[in-house]
Every structure is written in structure tokens, then in C-alpha cells.
């Protein structure tokens, strides 16, 4: 059973998501919060597998709530999907930078929301090429954001650095395998080892590390 927490200041949105999730046999809503502070407190109480987190909420916004939860060592099993009306580059980058595993707009089709919950609960990252391109633009167009190499970057082998760069470009394990002419299993192994060495929570954070460390361009 996938436990889901809903964090949104709009009653109608929470009602709709509750009904959608409640119709599935493999997931359930374990709590609802109408502001960021309540979302953090409720998440620490219920330890959900996935949080659907709105960006614009009273108290603290969804990005700050995500940052606090990602920094909490007791919440390592919880993943955040940022859900918002506004598909803005700043939201995309900040959500991923602060620990979100994915990003959806509120006009996403119900079936895709359910797929996203299952994907993130399984430990995958909800990262489309369009989201990756937004991260690229963030670094390309904002010189004020200095690149800061990860402190464990030197622990990666040359091949692992190459793989992290390809993850940063938005390539799947299958795409990486084809690019490097290796098996998909070998590509997965390189990605997994890089995530462990860099302490990445998931593939989404690996994308951010790739750009901050200059491995992706």
C-alpha cells in the first residue's frame, strides 16, 4: 500500500485528489494539509511514501516545506512530487534542487498523476526531458548561480562521471546504454553507484548534481 499525503490550500483540489487516490487498491491518503507548516508536521507524524505538494501555500510554501523534509534524516523514505498550477522555470529548478522527486502541473491527467505516484514510490524520479531542459536553462541563463562541484565528485570513476552527465541530459538507463554501447544492466549499475557515492536521494537529485558539478552542459 502506498501512503500519500496531500498538501494544498485549495479544498477542492484536495477533495479531487482524495477521491482519485481512494479509488485505487494499492494506495491511500493518510493525511491532508492546507499550509506548508502543517504539511511538514503531518509528514513527520505519518511518514507517507509520497507527498503531493502544492507550491503556493500559507505559512511556508511547498518549496521550503520540501527543503525541510529533505533535510530531515527521519524522512528519508518519503518522496515529494511538486504539484502546481504554474509551470514556471523557477519552480522546476527550486523544487528539484531542494529534494523533490518530480514536478507536475495541476492540469495533468488523473491517470498520469496515479502513474507518477507509483513511479516515485518505487524509487524512480519523475523527470521528463522538458523538465531537464528547464534545469539546463536555469544554469545557462543565470550566471548568478555559480556552479559548485559536489564534494564527493572525485570519488566517481571517469565512466561514472560520464554517466552522471548523461543522466543530466535527461537520458534513461536504456538511452545511456545505447550511447555508451553497454548493456542496460551495466548502465543501471553505473547510475546506482554514482547515486550512492554522491548521496543522491534519487535520479532527480542526480540531475541537479550533474549541472552543479559541471558534468552536464
What digits encode the pLDDT tens for the residues 152-189? 888 999 999 999 989 887 788 888 999 999 999 999 99
Q: HSE (CB half, 13 Å, CA atoms) of 136?
A: 14
Q: What is the pLDDT of residues 106-142, one digit of tens each?
A: 888 899 899 989 988 887 777 666 666 666 666 655 6
| pLDDT score recorded for residue 136 | 61
Q: Are 131 and 94 in contact (CB under 8 A)?
A: no
Contacts of 107 by beta carbon, 8 Å cutoff, 6+ apart: 85
Q: What is the pLDDT of residues 56-101, one digit of tens each?
A: 899 899 999 999 998 898 998 899 998 887 666 667 777 877 888 8
With b meaning 16 or more CB within 10 Å and e meaning fewer, what string describes 165-191?
Answer: bbbbbbbbbeebbeebeeeeebbeebb
According to DSSP, residue 153 is labeled G
Amino acid at each position: 500500500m502506498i501512503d500519500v499525503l496531500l498538501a494544498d490550500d485549495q479544498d477542492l483540489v484536495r477533495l479531487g485528489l482524495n477521491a482519485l487516490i481512494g479509488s485505487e487498491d494499492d494506495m491511500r491518503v493518510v493525511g491532508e494539509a492546507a499550509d506548508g507548516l502543517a504539511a511538514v508536521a503531518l509528514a513527520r507524524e505519518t511518514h507517507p511514501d509520497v507527498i503531493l505538494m502544492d507550491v503556493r501555500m500559507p505559512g511556508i510554501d511547498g518549496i521550503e516545506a520540501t527543503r525541510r523534509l529533505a533535510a530531515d534524516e527521519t524522512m528519508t523514505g518519503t518522496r515529494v512530487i511538486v504539484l502546481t498550477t504554474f509551470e514556471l522555470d523557477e519552480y522546476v529548478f527550486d523544487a528539484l534542487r531542494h529534494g523533490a522527486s518530480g514536478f507536475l502541473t495541476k492540469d495533468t491527467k488523473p491517470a498520469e498523476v496515479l502513474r507518477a505516484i507509483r513511479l516515485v514510490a518505487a524509487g524512480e524520479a519523475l523527470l521528463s526531458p522538458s523538465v531537464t531542459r528547464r534545469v539546463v536553462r536555469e544554469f545557462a541563463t543565470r550566471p548568478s548561480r555559480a556552479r559548485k562541484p559536489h564534494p564527493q565528485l572525485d570519488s566517481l570513476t571517469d565512466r561514472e562521471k560520464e554517466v552522471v552527465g548523461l543522466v543530466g541530459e535527461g537520458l534513461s538507463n536504456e538511452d545511456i546504454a545505447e550511447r555508451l554501447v553497454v548493456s542496460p544492466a551495466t548502465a543501471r549499475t553505473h547510475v546506482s553507484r554514482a547515486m550512492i557515492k554522491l548521496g543522491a536521494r534519487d535520479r532527480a537529485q542526480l540531475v541537479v548534481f550533474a549541472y552543479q558539478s559541471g558534468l552536464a552542459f
